[in-house]
Structure formats: structure tokens, C-alpha cells
Amino acid sequence: MSNLFIPNGFSVRDNEWFIEELSLSSLAKEYGTPCFVYSRVALTEAFKQYESACLRADGSRRARVHFAMKANSNLAILNLFAKLGAGFDLVSGGELERVIAAGGNPHDCVFSGVGKSAKEITQALLAGVKCFNVESIPELTRINEIAHSLGKVAPISLRVNPDVDAKTHPYISTGLKDNKFGIAYEAVLSTYQTAHQMSNCKIVGIDCHIGSQILEIEPFIESIDRILALIADLNKRNIPIEHLDIGGGLGISYGHEASPDITLFANTLLNHIEQQGFGHLEVVFEPGRSLVGNAGVLLTQIEYLKPTPAKNFCIVDAAMNDLMRPAMYDAYHAIVPVTLKDLPEVSYDVVGPVCETGDWLGKNRTLKVLPQDVLAILSAGAYGSSMASNYNTRPKALELMIDGENTYVIRERESVRDLFTHERLLPTKAV
């Protein structure tokens, strides 16, 4: 019990897992499974940890938090962060629409992404986003042309690829020179000079994001130093920079690794920027996983326990379409029974019903369980619901927000018929 990984907002009392004041077993019984459950306390506390570093002792602000909403784009979660004072990091026109629907301010949004369409650029210009994080010269040209056609000036920031190893999974490493993201470091100065000559673009910042689930501070310091050197060169060329967007990527503990304290992490980076003589810049953080990852769990019920000569399988009603990370990244999530029982320990592969060998949620997990027991897959608040699909015609899961003793449905469970809504049969041909 002493080694049990228990995220903030959760607790274990009398052999029952609780989220704030409610037992996970009671939630599973009332709302069914699979089901995502989030803690408002944990979401708020994570945001406040960033905020404590962003504010100086005199109350003045030295940095702002823009939630990287691809981690979890549920409207209720966006609304909560907007009320707490967050801006947003977007990577699609759809995400911009979600921010507006959730009560967020488009002026507090930065628009990232390598493949912005003409439609999305137009949409963002008309909405008045804070800036575009530009990732290529062709994109810069397109933004300038569209802004000209609309009679607007587009605020832009170049996303720099600093060729820094984030020491994370290759699929979520974004700052190496062979990644698709950003403008090559050696081409940044000339690209800024090109942008400086464009009549419908205004340079406001510089941006860098080197990856996700990073557990060391050193790669962030290395990338920041490379960006600060560029800012110094730009100043010499009379191209001033107003804000420094240092991206996100701070990792969390999934139960078997240590992660940096959020406030210590943010303070370390901000203090370093100030010590290098760049304290006048507005700094932007773009956290995603570190805000929402450990604030949510995925509840799932055991359908069958299947022993075989090779291994034992614990077959549950959640699957890779509900939580893609294990299948896509070989990712680890702690898995616990929501009610702790005095049973023999058995090693299981926890798998779902999807017709793929890759449909697994955890391998070689020692569990004390029976059929129909409910499991909690921890740390599912990030890249769970936002990456979910309807593969095998499986409806997306219900989502709940817990606030003390109150439960709010923040996404209804889909029905199979919901999945047919936009599909059409071919017309019957006349004989």
C-alpha cells in the first residue's frame, strides 16, 4: 500500500479508491463503463502551480499559461481553465471553435501546427488570435497573402526547430532537425528578415516546443539558450521580439518515474531567462499533459479472465479506441482495482475487445480481481478522450467531472445510432 501511486485529487480509504469525496466504484455502478472521470481539484491545483511561478512577489506577471488543448479538449475543462485565466495553444480551426464555445477568448490563443489551411488561417485572422506560430516559409507567405486580402495584419511568431534532443519517445519528440516541426535553426534569422519585409505580417514573438513527456529540465534550458541567442541577433537587426513562447512538454509520473515539480520547473526556466538578461520578454508556457494527465482516470469493467498456457488475459470493456497511448506509444498506465480485495495475485495482460492484437492497456500486471470487478486506468486525463475513436463501431465513453461531492456529466455517452448520423445509403437504382 505504501508504494501505491495515488495522483492528486484521489485517495484510498477502507480499501476503496475515491476521487475527491466519491468512490470510483459508486461512479462505475451509477454511470457505467468505460467512463473517464476527472477531478476539478486536481485540474485547478495543477494550474495554480504554474501560476505561482508566473507571478512575482509584488503581483506583477512574468509569464502566462496557454493550455495545449490537444491533450484534452472537453468544453468543461476548457471553460474551467479559461475561468482560471488560461490562454490556449491551438493546432486546428476546430480547436479554435471549441475555445470560443467554451467561453475562451480568441485573443488569448496562439495557433500552432505545420499544416494550417487557407480556411483555418482566415478563420483565425477574423477571430483575432494572439499570434500564428509559423512553421515554414510557404505558410508565412500564405498568411501574408490572406491577411492582405482581408485588409488585416497578422501577428506572427516563428516556431524554431532548435535540434535539441528531448530524450522522450520518438513519436512525441518535435525539436530535432529531422522532425517535421518548426523552421530549421540555421534558417530562422533569414526567415525573420523575410517576414519583416511583409506588409501584412507583424513579428511579435518566437516559439519553440521540443517534445512531450520530458522528465528532465536540462533539454528545456538548452533549447531556451539557443532561442535567446537568436533573439539577441534579431535585436541587432532591429527586429524586436515581444514574447518568448517556450512551449510545453513537461512530463508527469505514470506511477513508475519521477517528474519535476511544476512550480520548481517553471521557476527554474523563468529565473534562467531573467538571469540571461531577457526578463523584459513576456514568456508563454504551453502545458498540456502536466495540467490534465493525472487529473483523470478511465474506469473499465472486467468482462472475462482468460487463462492460457502462455499467459493470462484480463479482458475489459475499454479498449485502444478509448485509450490509444499504450498501443501507439507502448505507454505505461498504472492499473488498479477500484475495490481492493483479499484475493490471490495473478499476472495479467489487460486487453480490450477490439479486433487487434495491439489492443492492450497494460501488460504483465499483478492484480487481485474477479470477473465484473472495475479497474481504474490512472493518468488518463491527457490524450485519452481527445485521441479516442469509433474503431469497431464503438461509441465514445461518457466523461464526468467531480467537484467535491458533486458529479457533472461533461460528455454524454455516445450511442451506436449517433455514429450513423452523417452516413447515407446509396440510392436504389430503378430496374
355 is annotated as an active-site residue = yes
Is beta strand 109-111 parallel, antiparallel or unpaired with respect to 131-134?
parallel
DSSP string, 286-333: --SHHHHGGGEEEEEEEEEEEE-SS-EEEEES--TTT--HHHHH----
Cell digits for 339?
475495490
State the catalytic residue, choosing from 35, 208, 314, 355: 355
Radius of gyration of the chain (CA): 23
Kindly report the number of other CB atoms within 10 A of residue 7's CB atom: 22
CB of 244 closer than 8 Å to CB of 157: no
Cell digits for 254?
505514470
Helix, strand, coil shares of the chain, percent, nearest 5, are: 35, 25, 40
Per-residue exposure over 33-57, b if at least 16 CB sit within 10 Å of its own CB, e if not: bbbbbbbbbbbbebbebbbebbeee
Is the link from the previous residue into 7 a cis peptide, with omega within 30 of 0? no
Helices (H), strands (E): how many in the chain?
Answer: 12, 21
Active site residues: 355
